[in-house]
Amino acid sequence: MIYDVKNLCFKYTAGGRTILKDASVTLQEGEIMSILGPNGAGKSTLLNCMANLLKPDSGEIYLCGRKMREMGIKEVAGCVSYVQQTHTPTFAYTVLNFVIMGRAPKIGMFRKPKTPDVQAARDALEILGIAHLAEKPYTEISGGERQQVIIARAIVQEPKVILFDEPTAHLDYGNQFRILGMIKIMQDRGYSIIITTHNPDHALLLGGTAAIIDRNGQLDVGKSSEIITEERLKKLYNTELRLLPIPELSRMACLQPLLKNPIQDSF
């Protein structure tokens, strides 16, 4: 077992609203999990707690069989890689050098990358089909390319699990599905994956497990094909969504019915 989260509770300020309430979830080796929920429900908060960036008010997180709160930063980094929702470039590092930075937990403080570190970065770029970007400045590539490079940097860290916080949020339609395809490749290569998303159809495409956080911070976990239902989605997003089989694609799809005029319908 990679993660075992038990009865996690979190609030941002003392006396403030509790974002997560007794959240419990497990993640097995090689498993993929999609976290769904409306804005403000606590998807990113849960991910940040699991990445050791936020400290829960109560509950326990076990990572690779150990209590995370007893692990050092380098130990956590040796198990977990985190692909955040956005990354604003500051310096014009080449893509290759930017990816090599993902080797920091392996290289150590005040040490230079060695040949195996550089080769690991080149291999990661090759796996994702973006080796041609290696010598380009990271500040001068597109948003879709940048997201792929960030995934490459996560790979060279050699973690057991990769956390993705809404990795498709700022991408065009084509790049969204390229990123989802890369996430499936990562799972096929043995990584455990957790992804937060606003799009139920992405969770259905990825398969595996879904964790749904409602507006009260309650977490429900189950097989994606079973836990994602029309009734649950309507309650979760306060809108009509349909789950329809698409025989030509051999899958179930989440679709929005024809849009209505809310002003007209009120008369």
Q: What is the pLDDT of residue 204?
A: 96
Going by C-alpha positions, the residue among 113, 117, 142, 145 that lies closest to residue 131 is 145
Query: Can you list the domains of the chain with their CATH numbers?
Result: 1-79+159-229 (3.40.50.300), 88-158 (no CATH)
C-alpha distances (whole Å) from 157 to each of 75, 79, 105, 107, 135 are 12, 9, 7, 10, 20
| pTM to 2 decimal places | 0.90
Half-sphere exposure at residue 151, Cβ-oriented, CA atoms within 13 angstroms: 30
Q: Is the C-alpha dihedral spanning 124, 71, 7, 10 positive or negative?
A: negative
Residue 236 has pLDDT above 50, yes or no: yes
Which amino acid is located at 178 in the chain? R
pLDDT band for position 266 (50/70/90)?
A: very low
Q: What is the pLDDT of residue 14?
A: 75
